[in-house]
Amino acid sequence: KIRKSVLMPMLAAASLMLSAPGAIAATFKMAIGDAAGGTQWELATSFAKSFSDKTGGKHKVDLFPNGQLGDEQDTVNNAAMGLLDFSVLAINNVTPFSPTVGVLTLPYVIQSAEDAKTLTQGAVGQELVDNTIRDAGVRIVGWAYSGFRVLTNSKRPVTTLADLKGLVIRVPKNEIMISTYQSWGINPTPMSWSETFTALQQRVVDGQDNPYITISAMKFNEVQKYITNIRYIFSLEPLIMSEQVFQAQKPDVQQAILEAGREATEHSFKYLLETEEQIRADLAAKGMEIVDPADGEKEWIEKATTAVWPKFHKSIGGKDKLDAVLKALGR
């Protein structure tokens, strides 16, 4: 019989080993900001399957959707400290920890899904991966392509900036997005993602923006009526991994992680192209009214690019960086 005085320290040591930051785990934990069913979920499930297959089932990933492991921005901190292995979240929620990724959130820089692919899978993307490891202690190992963020609200069809006046719009805690709405003449309400559904439901805020697929996965159609296709930001949602945990893995496991990340990224791009239009139609069928901005979005584009781009040149690493990105996109 083991005495309690001997057993207790043994149990304490065992639990410390299990929870030690950076410990080599056979089962990893992945936080997912959105509810199951959208682009984040597709990336996560595709990654989990191919990672497990590649390690002959030795490693597996448990998925925790709907912000169960904390708000998206908190998961970056937790992963940096090695307390969480993986997180799928919107890039705009990584920017506060690694400002150069802000180039992907600058309004109207990315104008198509192809642009999003070019930036994330080319030299620009590689530099942003390196910067994020350096600045935030997390490694981007895959990307979900979630489509353009469109504006939703519960009050009225919005087609002009004049229509926007007076609406209380939730935005992520992201300076670029806050400034964008300011350039459009309103002061938005910065709020964490995990609080957004309730705030919309309780009418604390009138609206928010996110892609069709996210709106649908989060059931925002139950609390929002109108959509405006502002297409100001293409939502990129990286799969990040704690760099500490990554470095603690054997080379073959690291390799499996990187390959599974690439495969999940490919899958995500296909998923977007195959499902976005259907999900838009479903939202309309469920009663959402979808309108385009008047005047081909001209006034929105002009205000945002003139006021916001120069303001963030410094934080994204200089005007040259933005010029290089535009050049990579053939503009």
Find the length of the chain.
331
Nearer to ligand MLT, 249 or 312 (CB): 312
Q: Is 95 in the site for ligand MLT (CB under 6 A)?
A: no
Binding residues for ligand MLT, rule CB under 6 A, total: 11
Residue whose pair of structure tokens reads 């990933």 in the numeric block: 61
DSSP-based three-state secondary structure for 210 = strand
**Cβ atoms within 10 Å, residue 94:** 30
CA–CA distances in Å: residue 30 to residues 62, 150, 215, 252: 6, 27, 22, 20
Evaluate whether 205 touches 170 at the Cβ level (below 8 Å): yes
214 binds ligand MLT (CB under 6 A): yes
215 binds ligand MLT (CB under 6 A): no
Task: Identify the three-state secondary structure at position 28.
Answer: strand
- Measured from the CB atom, the residue of 172 and 207 that comes closer to ligand MLT is 172
Least separation in angstroms between CB 89 and ligand MLT: 5
Residues 171, 209: contact at Cβ < 8 Å? Answer: yes
Q: Could you tell me if 317 and 100 are in contact, meaning their C-beta atoms sit under 8 angstroms apart?
A: yes
Assess 172 for contact with ligand MLT (CB under 6 A). Answer: yes
Can you tell me which of 43, 59, 72, 94 binds ligand MLT, judged by CB under 6 A? 72
| 34 in contact with ligand MLT (CB under 6 A) | yes
The verdict on 210 binding ligand MLT (CB under 6 A) reads yes
Closest distance to ligand MLT from the beta carbon of 290 (Å): 19
User: Judged by CB under 6 A, does residue 87 bind ligand MLT?
Assistant: no
Task: Give the C-alpha separation, 116 to 114, whole Å.
Answer: 5
Mapped onto helix, strand or coil, the DSSP state of residue 4 is: helix
Concatenated DSSP letters of 44-95? HHHHHHHHHHHTTTS-EEEEE-TTTT--HHHHHHHHHTTS-SEEE--GGGTT
Window contacting ligand MLT (CB under 6 A); options: 3-11, 88-96, 243-251, 261-269 = 88-96
Min. distance of Cβ 67 from ligand MLT in angstroms? 9
Query: Cβ of residue 225: shortest distance to ligand MLT, in angstroms?
Result: 19
Across the strands, what pairs with 145? 236
90 forms part of the interface with ligand MLT (CB under 6 A): yes
Among 78, 87, 93, 216, binds ligand MLT (CB under 6 A): 93
**Sole window of 13-21, 87-95, 219-227, 299-307 interacting with ligand MLT (rule: CB under 6 A):** 87-95
Give the residue closest to ligand MLT by C-beta.
90
The percent helix, strand, coil of the chain (3-state, each to 5) is 50, 15, 30
Q: Does 89 sit near ligand MLT (CB under 6 A)?
A: yes
- Contact pick of 33, 65, 70, 207 for ligand MLT (by CB under 6 A): 33
Pick the piece of the chain touching ligand MLT (CB under 6 A) from 8-16, 89-97, 264-272, 294-302.
89-97
Q: What would the two tokens of residue 209 be?
A: 């923006």
| Closest to 299 in 3D by CA, of 109, 171, 108 | 108
Residues binding ligand MLT (CB under 6 A): 33-34, 72, 89-90, 92-93, 172, 193, 210, 214
